[in-house]
Structure 1
Amino acid sequence: MSRRIIMILLSLRIIKLLALFSILFSFYAFAGTFYVACYYYDSDKGPYNKNSSLMTPSKLYIGANTNYFWALNDANQYTKLNGTVIDGFFIEEYLTRSEVEKHCQNAIKNGTFFWKSKVTLKLLDYKAATSNFDGFEYPIRFLKDNNNYAKIKQIILFGDSLSDTGNLKRWTKYMPGYPGFFGRFTDFYNWIDFLAGMQPNKGPHYPVLNFAYGGAKSDGSNDFYFNNLKNYMTSLGRNFVTGSSKDYINHFLNSYLTQDSYASKSPYISNSDEILFVIWIGANDYISKLESPIFTQEFFDNPNKIGGSTTVYKRSVENISEQINILYNRGARHFLIFNLPDFGRTPVVLDTRYKIKDIENPTDERNKIAFSQKITKVIDNHNKTLQLKIKEIETIKKDIDITYVDIFKGFNSFIEGKNIIDGSNFNYETQPLDSKYLIPGTTNKYIQEVCYTGGYIGAAKALVKSDFSANTYALRSSCHRQSESESDGLDKISATTVFWNNPHPSSYAHCWISFMARKALEDKGLIPKELTTLEDYKNYCFSILKLKYN
């Protein structure tokens, strides 16, 4: 072995030892003290954008993400927090949000000896944590910013992939991968990102304790018929990996309630009048029944049997009702409850195999239209039953406050180009990806195709090779802007379609879902009024989307 090779190997060993020493030092230095983990993303639109590798699982640390630096104050020292963890939130007593964000920007600008920065890195989020090895991190509420709020100051969320901001990826370490945006099932921010911190004006930032997991159902039961073991085991595996909103509500109540950073546990929720509890769940109760032609047929043909449509929607609504009551009994008072969107107008119609039973050799178009109409009716029944159940709860519990968001109606208005508020015509400037199937009951509105068609496995294979390979695959597998004259990289990918993949909305659509939630909360005085005109809000959505590659 040559002397040069020996020196290289020795240098590599020294670097590894230094890295290990640095990690151990950070562990001992941080233990028991809370600092700020500043998460970032790469806004470079070129083929060497590093987001794909930034999303790869950590080999040393707990969790899926390695894309963070520890916040540095003006003296380039680690930013120490001062406060207490209460019910899963770090309550910061001295620093303000703007000060912490400034410290995060400083950390991202400087990088570290082993993890270099680059000018295109941008702040994504920040959490309170004690060390690289601590698997727990906490959203931060800044007491000095209290004057910016109305009644609600914190948000706790239970849901599925429509609201997941990285939980499933943190758990599985891989799913969903690039080009999904840092554990989100969409191309950039999702609705809770917009609601929590990307306000139209300089409004408050809402710390969110997020228990939404992609694939989660309203409960963990399996009601498949046993004549198909493969589908039963698929459902069983889904429940094991993703769980249910009931699981996560119980986990929150049994593991997170404290007033002293877990020196002791609390039986009830603290400061509940300042916390908004969000439940948006139920979509996977239905989607799990549509993954096999056999069960799709049974779902519609035998509605009152196990696995039938009527049985499913009644059980799903009862689960949501039960979960509201569980939280209420431990102190929760303010709720934001979403109904389900109209599946009959989504790409679910395009991917589900269903055949009309009473017609010999029906055309593909007739099968699609029939499925669209049937699933729309089922979801409508779910939503009507849910609304009645909420009114029943409000009648019994006089001090409960439930804000109901009609996503079914609002998202249909968005798809049809109707004003979400008054039903008049409005141009959202979405890029159409029309399938060949008309939306039933319309003459010129088509069920939309998805923008990203690459799937998760293909993306994972591309990611193994390099950032360049992953970015090239993403660009090749995504729809492009109608006009690419000003685009010369990843920004060629359209940002204004309705759906990113099946059945997930694009980030632009998520911005409008956030509008629906925000307006409902503003109308009740729970958050400050900031919304102006729909045109202004549309421009706000466009301005946020431009941040991705800017």
Structure 2
Amino acid sequence: MVTVADPVDDRPFVWKVQCESSLKPRVKPGDDPETAVAKGWIVARTPGDYEISVLGRMEDGFLQVEEVLSDDPDWSLDQTQPYVHLRKVCRDTLSNRRNGGLYRPGLVRTSHEDSGVYTSLVFDEWSERDHVTRLVIFGDSLSDTGRLKRRLKMVPRPPYWVGRFANGPVWSDYLEVSAQLAVQNHARGGAMATQREPMDSEELIQRIYTNGQFFVSGSITHQIDGYTANDVGDSGVVRADASVAILWAGANDYISKEAFDSSISLLLSKPYAEDGYASIVSKVTDALELNLAQLRELGFKRMMLVNLPNLGLTPMVLQNDSYMVSRKYESEEARLIDFSTRLAELTRRHNQELVTMVDRFLADSPGVEVIVMDADAAFAQVTDPEFGGDILGFDLESRKVQVEFEGREVAIQNQCYSGMTMGVFSPTANVCDEASRAVFWDLVHPTTFFHCWMAYMMGDLMFNEGWIGPMPPLEEYRGWCEMVADAY
């Protein structure tokens, strides 16, 4: 049971409650860039302006809270909804600062003065629940909540939001709040599924300058190895019964070739060649199977694997100038439609082999549950006018680009932000007016509004599996997504 105790200054393992924050990041050419600078972490304070700390112990990389500490005699933590209450405390803490109306809250974490690590909190009440209470996430830029930014200190820059590759929170942020889960996120922008030697920061920065958004930074295996060494150790996961490991990776193994004519052309136009996508897909799914095996050896009993949305419908198709440029197409539209079609074929093959791999893995893993989140189906729902437009609230008309040639056509939702991941405005870079309801933020990354709905679908899948409690009612959830998207 969480108790509110008198503060003891010399007590060991006291962690301060920290609020992630930024100033409102909506920046357009000519605006003061300081309005989008992330302000980092701010210590949570009670209404009486006292700091809040917690006393706890580390468990699987989470801080298991035993006591909540404050000098404020008039404040106590709501023990029925401790995390919800702490989020409100953080909102109030930010709003009470100078220019408080410009601040936008992010995560709620704790930090120890000697470690500098920002750790997710778990409360005793959560551990007594029947459902899962903890998520451990591995992945790439679709899931990164700031790890690449903390490493490089430079990307992604505004108007990207606080290290996310989006214009606001990403799916793990939304799921943490809506499902009241503790989240530990190891995802890093640029990560691949297949093995890749990690680069030092200087080399990685140069690669980003050279290849723009299509860079790589390491592998999922490195993330799991780091989690094992730093958070779990040889004994494995202590609370496997309360935990789910989530893996979402693979896209970078394919789209990192987009910046190079010969690589992307060979990958897609000759699928059964040595460097064609049939071979690469097998390597990617084999690597993900090894990652599942790593997690199984750590003791995880529940895992979620997320497949790929249709890469042929991403804005990078519209901006591509490298695929098969040496071939004489009848028109530029014909080349782009061919590029889109080939990417769609690659996506289907990846997703089909992923299911086959999971079936094979489960046959050799008694007592382990693995579910596949169908991001491809989720994307199809979002871009369907009746469902994505009318029910979910997306603006599917303003950014739609119809590419047509001789009876063939493809409809693609274009990017909202026309700059690069570096976040440096060129004279022509801008943010679209409908950013809060658009599907894509940049060439390959969705908007925060899309992330909000992705979180809902992932939470709903886990609920249907009996892993977590129900998600909020659809209409209520839509209102929340719209409120956040409008604010950020």
Which amino acid letter does the alignment assign opposite residue 403 of structure 2? Y
Which one has a bigger Cα radius of gyration? 1
Give, in whole Å, the separation in 1 of the partners of 2:17 and 2:392. 41
Which amino acid letter does the alignment assign opposite residue 109 of structure 2? K
Q: Deviations over 1:514-548 (max 9, x none)?
A: 12211211111111113434x55433321332333
2:15 corresponding residue in structure 1: 34
Correspondence for 2:108 among 106, 115, 126: 126
1:162 corresponding residue in structure 2: 142
Q: Deviations over 1:472-509 (max 9, x none)?
A: x89x711114xxxxxxxxxxxx3111111010111111
2:79 corresponding residue in structure 1: none
Give, in whole Å, the separation in 2 of the partners of 1:216 and 1:247. 9
1:212 corresponding residue in structure 2: 187
2:225 corresponding residue in structure 1: 250
1:22 corresponding residue in structure 2: none
Give, in whole Å, the separation in 2 of the partners of 1:238 and 1:368. 19
Secondary structure of the equivalent of 2:258?
A: coil
Secondary structure of the equivalent of 2:63?
A: strand
Contact 2:26–2:159, Cα closer than 8 Å, also in 1: no
Give, in whole Å, the separation in 2 of the partners of 1:221 and 1:40. 33
Q: Deviations over 1:57-83 (max 9, x none)?
A: xxxxxxxxx432222346644322111
Correspondence for 2:411 among 446, 453, 476: 446
Which amino acid letter does the alignment assign opposite residue 273 of structure 1? D
1:540 corresponding residue in structure 2: 480
Give, in whole Å, the separation in 1 of the partners of 2:406 and 2:456. 26
Secondary structure of the equivalent of 2:453?
A: helix
Q: Deviations over 1:102-158 (max 9, x none)?
A: 5535543555xxxx5634434322211112x733221111223556x5511011000
Secondary structure of the equivalent of 1:175?
A: coil
After TM superposition, give the deviation of residue 384 of structure 1 in Å.
Answer: 0.3
1:89 aligns with 2:85: no
1:108 aligns with 2:97: no
Contact 1:369–1:440, Cα closer than 8 Å, also in 2: no
Contact 2:25–2:160, Cα closer than 8 Å, also in 1: no
Compared with structure 1, are the counterparts of its residues 537 and 387 closer, same or farther at alpha carbon in structure 2 (3 Å cutoff)? same
Equivalent residue runs for 1:95-244 within 5 Å: 95=68, 96-101=82-87, 103-105=89-91, 107-108=93-94, 111=97, 116=98, 118-131=100-113, 134-146=115-127, 150-197=130-177, 199=178, 204-221=179-196, 242-244=217-219
Give 5+ residue unaligned stretches, structure 1.
1-27, 56-65, 223-229, 258-264, 463-472, 482-493
Which amino acid letter does the alignment assign opposite residue 180 of structure 1? Y
Compared with structure 1, are the counterparts of its residues 119 and 479 closer, same or farther at alpha carbon in structure 2 (3 Å cutoff)? closer
Compared with structure 1, are the counterparts of its residues 109 and 375 closer, same or farther at alpha carbon in structure 2 (3 Å cutoff)? closer
Secondary structure of the equivalent of 2:159?
A: coil
Give, in whole Å, the separation in 2 of the partners of 1:154 and 1:438. 47
Cα RMSD of the aligned pairs, angstroms, is 3.4
Contact 1:356–1:370, Cα closer than 8 Å, also in 2: no
Contact 1:439–1:447, Cα closer than 8 Å, also in 2: no
Contact 1:521–1:527, Cα closer than 8 Å, also in 2: yes
Give, in whole Å, the separation in 2 of the partners of 1:502 and 1:313. 22
1:352 corresponding residue in structure 2: 320
Give 5+ residue unaligned stretches, structure 2.
1-8, 69-81, 198-205
Q: Normalization by structure 1: what TM-score? A: 0.74
After TM superposition, give the deviation of residue 166 of structure 1 in Å.
Answer: 0.8
Compared with structure 1, are the counterparts of its residues 67 and 542 closer, same or farther at alpha carbon in structure 2 (3 Å cutoff)? same
Give, in whole Å, the separation in 1 of the partners of 2:96 and 2:217. 37
Contact 1:35–1:130, Cα closer than 8 Å, also in 2: yes
After TM superposition, give the deviation of residue 351 of structure 1 in Å.
Answer: 2.4
1:293 corresponding residue in structure 2: 261
1:434 aligns with 2:400: yes
1:506 corresponding residue in structure 2: 447
1:517 corresponding residue in structure 2: 458
Q: Deviations over 1:395-441 (max 9, x none)?
A: 22121111211111221221133548xxx985734243122415999
Which amino acid letter does the alignment assign opposite residue 296 of structure 1? I
Equivalent residue runs for 1:273-288 within 5 Å: 273-288=241-256
Contact 1:176–1:183, Cα closer than 8 Å, also in 2: yes
Residue identity (%): 21
Which amino acid letter does the alignment assign opposite residue 307 of structure 1? D
Contact 2:13–2:57, Cα closer than 8 Å, also in 1: no
Greater fraction helix: 1
Compared with structure 1, are the counterparts of its residues 367 and 45 closer, same or farther at alpha carbon in structure 2 (3 Å cutoff)? closer
Give, in whole Å, the separation in 2 of the partners of 1:385 and 1:315. 10
Q: Normalization by structure 2: what TM-score? A: 0.83
After TM superposition, give the deviation of residue 388 of structure 1 in Å.
Answer: 0.8
Give, in whole Å, the separation in 2 of the partners of 1:394 and 1:196. 27
Give, in whole Å, the separation in 2 of the partners of 1:256 and 1:268. 9
Greater fraction strand: 2
Secondary structure of the equivalent of 2:109?
A: strand
Give, in whole Å, the separation in 2 of the partners of 1:99 and 1:531. 18
Which amino acid letter does the alignment assign opposite residue 432 of structure 2? C
Give, in whole Å, the separation in 1 of the partners of 2:240 and 2:325. 51
2:76 corresponding residue in structure 1: none
Secondary structure of the equivalent of 1:85?
A: strand
Give, in whole Å, the separation in 1 of the partners of 2:26 and 2:263. 43
Contact 1:430–1:497, Cα closer than 8 Å, also in 2: yes
Contact 2:23–2:102, Cα closer than 8 Å, also in 1: yes
Question: Number of paired residues?
Answer: 454
Give, in whole Å, the separation in 2 of the partners of 1:356 and 1:454. 24
Compared with structure 1, are the counterparts of its residues 349 and 122 closer, same or farther at alpha carbon in structure 2 (3 Å cutoff)? closer
Compared with structure 1, are the counterparts of its residues 438 and 322 closer, same or farther at alpha carbon in structure 2 (3 Å cutoff)? farther
After TM superposition, what 4+ stretches of structure 1 lie above 6 angstroms from structure 2?
28-31, 439-443
Q: Deviations over 1:307-365 (max 9, x none)?
A: 32111100000011110011101101111110011011111211233556997443111
Give, in whole Å, the separation in 2 of the partners of 1:153 and 1:178. 32
Compared with structure 1, are the counterparts of its residues 545 and 102 closer, same or farther at alpha carbon in structure 2 (3 Å cutoff)? closer
